[in-house]
Structure 1
């Protein structure tokens, strides 16, 4: 929790309520990227800013996009939203279309959805002279420094140890014995892999705890609701605890529990630090979550790509730890959820978007899990 204290103390807070209300698809590229806030055409040397992500309806991705929007506004530009809905082909096609429209004059941040898809997106940007930052998903053999300045950086989070922390909290809540179930994200996603691995590692020390079932729900609230309902039918009161791999799925899990009158009776641990789940921790329906500060990540990833595009930052002059780095992972429990909500959600932190690595927790290392 020392990092959390540092994070809270160093963040300059304001009371501005910044929420992403609308999103633009690829059809809005020309209007959104080439028109400034005063409605005047921007110079042709000004790069188009864009964020490629899954959906604005998900609280996590909403925070990512909101951070990107905040950075864009700080430099007097708008941001194009490339919303792929978890479709590899769509995000690649949208990126290529935007590169064509802008003739490569693009500063892009993107989640590739599946790790292998990152290479195709990076190569497309490099070939057209665009600048791209990626987050979360890429293969271990893909590195920014292999593409000069065009592949600006990759930001990820080490979920293996945080997953062990939340798993330990779950073990304590069930008294170290009984059956639990796990609901995971997209199986090929790095966070899905690491979060499950962290749970399995902790289970090695709890021989009286049985993992009754693990099912992927692809980060979807609806799918998690259906999976949880099926698990309740199958296992009934054998389920003593639930390991949820992200907050969006936790919301679906809770709806299934409420339908059976079980909300608040079965301990749940979660990830992402979404506002709705922090409220549920305060209310006692969820034990904990882990914030990766997506708002900061959304702004910093786009800031790095932008400054590389305009030449005020040269990625190839930086050490590897500045090109593949880890963001923060902050555990939020019932002891500190109210304070966290008041200081980090009710009030939106403001950042110096040129302080690129302020909340970096070091270079990414590739552990075999």
Structure 2
């Protein structure tokens, strides 16, 4: 195996430290005076600041999200550096504080795309944006009892991905590789994240059809490579040879798992993951990962920025759109060794060009609640 996994862990640690140091002089820790508006959306904002609020610049998934946001701002004649990066490092409190500070600094003249980090944080983010008269489009995390249309036009849209079915599909691929028997461990994301919950549910759904496979353990690895490495090492100590397959909630978790397996001299352990990052797709091509799932984060990042911006400047009025345009699923593709090379050529070797005014073209319909 190449050394990129070890290099990735080291790079991730360095990047996280650098961003934490940089934030000491940034917007997140600066008290910026400002008075929020009366909570009413303005008819249209003028040249709003575009921002992306997200977890981790060291993670390839979030790099792809931001690249989409940058591609969008370039499409409206700005430089990609004009996109404001609000990096919360997995803190919902920092996510909300950063957004409030940005709104105060620009008197609400903001078009924001955001992953609220955990589901309960979506409401206070939306409330802050509405109070300031800004606009926000969110992805991934919100609770089922709150909706963009509850906030007039200011909460423009929410996009998530229907992760349960693809995660179930990767689990079935894993179980077949295990010969339909044995023990599996699951390394998940942040416990309160919607995708973490759905990906674990997908695994559990598949287990119903494989009575000879036992779920030995399922623990959160917080989407983090180093935590995944440590957790997998603990699993190997605790369960040893009982583990015959590993279900990972994302690609960066899988990198940590593979490194832990390598450290114990274990080869050929079936592993599946999620996100469809370039390095993971290469590992699928090599047979080191059985399958991963691509959610087109570049498109997701760009279209979320586009929706908030075009709503802000009055190109369309969110409250006049049907609910399936306010809450919708993004696209997903399961990638196996059979189709990995073709997928890589189409989506990763070159970036597809998107029409950022085609707001719902690649989407997969309105969100369905159970």
Is the structural similarity TM-score above 0.5? Answer: yes
**3-state DSSP class of the match of 1:331?**
strand
1:29-178 correspondence to structure 2 within 5 Å? 45-77=46-78, 78-178=82-182
1:326 aligned residue (326, 329, 342)? 329
2:273 aligned residue (270, 293, 308)? 270
Deviations 1:314-334 (A, max 9, x none): 111100000000001110001
1:304 aligned residue (296, 304, 307)? 307
| Whole-angstrom distance in 1 between the partners of 2:221 and 2:26 | 30
Are the aligned partners of 1:179 and 1:209 in contact in 2 as well (CA < 8 Å)? yes
Deviations 1:61-120 (A, max 9, x none): 110011001101111231000000000110100000000001000000000011001100
| Whole-angstrom distance in 1 between the partners of 2:46 and 2:206 | 52
Are the aligned partners of 2:27 and 2:101 in contact in 1 as well (CA < 8 Å)? no
Are the aligned partners of 1:28 and 1:80 in contact in 2 as well (CA < 8 Å)? no
1:198-209 correspondence to structure 2 within 5 Å? 198-209=202-213
User: 2:38 aligns to what?
Assistant: none
- Which segments of 5 or more consecutive residues in structure 2 lack a partner in the other structure? 1-17, 29-44
User: 1:16 aligns to what?
Assistant: none
Alpha-carbon distance, 1:45 to partner:
2.1
Are the aligned partners of 1:221 and 1:251 in contact in 2 as well (CA < 8 Å)? yes
Query: Structure 1 stretch 230-239 or stretch 279-288: which is displaced more?
Result: 230-239
Deviations 1:172-210 (A, max 9, x none): 101100111111111111011111111111111111101
| Whole-angstrom distance in 2 between the partners of 1:142 and 1:99 | 22
**3-state DSSP class of the match of 2:358?**
coil
2:362 aligned residue (351, 359, 363)? 359
Alpha-carbon distance, 1:28 to partner:
6.7
1:349 aligned residue (326, 331, 352)? 352
Are the aligned partners of 1:157 and 1:326 in contact in 2 as well (CA < 8 Å)? yes
Are the aligned partners of 2:27 and 2:102 in contact in 1 as well (CA < 8 Å)? no
Q: Which runs of 4 or more aligned residues in structure 1 lie more than 4 Å from their structure 2 counterparts after TM superposition? A: 22-26
Are the aligned partners of 1:47 and 1:105 in contact in 2 as well (CA < 8 Å)? yes
Alpha-carbon distance, 1:342 to partner:
1.5
Distance change >3 Å, CA 28–CA 116, structure 1 → 2: closer
**If the length of structure 1 is used for normalisation, what is the TM-score?**
0.88
Alpha-carbon distance, 1:147 to partner:
1.1
**If the length of structure 2 is used for normalisation, what is the TM-score?**
0.87
Number of aligned residue pairs? 332
- Which segments of 5 or more consecutive residues in structure 1 lack a partner in the other structure? 1-21, 30-43
Aligned CA RMSD, in angstroms, stands at: 1.6
| Whole-angstrom distance in 2 between the partners of 1:111 and 1:68 | 13
Residue 259 (structure 1) aligned with residue 251 (structure 2): no
**3-state DSSP class of the match of 1:350?**
coil
Are the aligned partners of 2:27 and 2:98 in contact in 1 as well (CA < 8 Å)? no
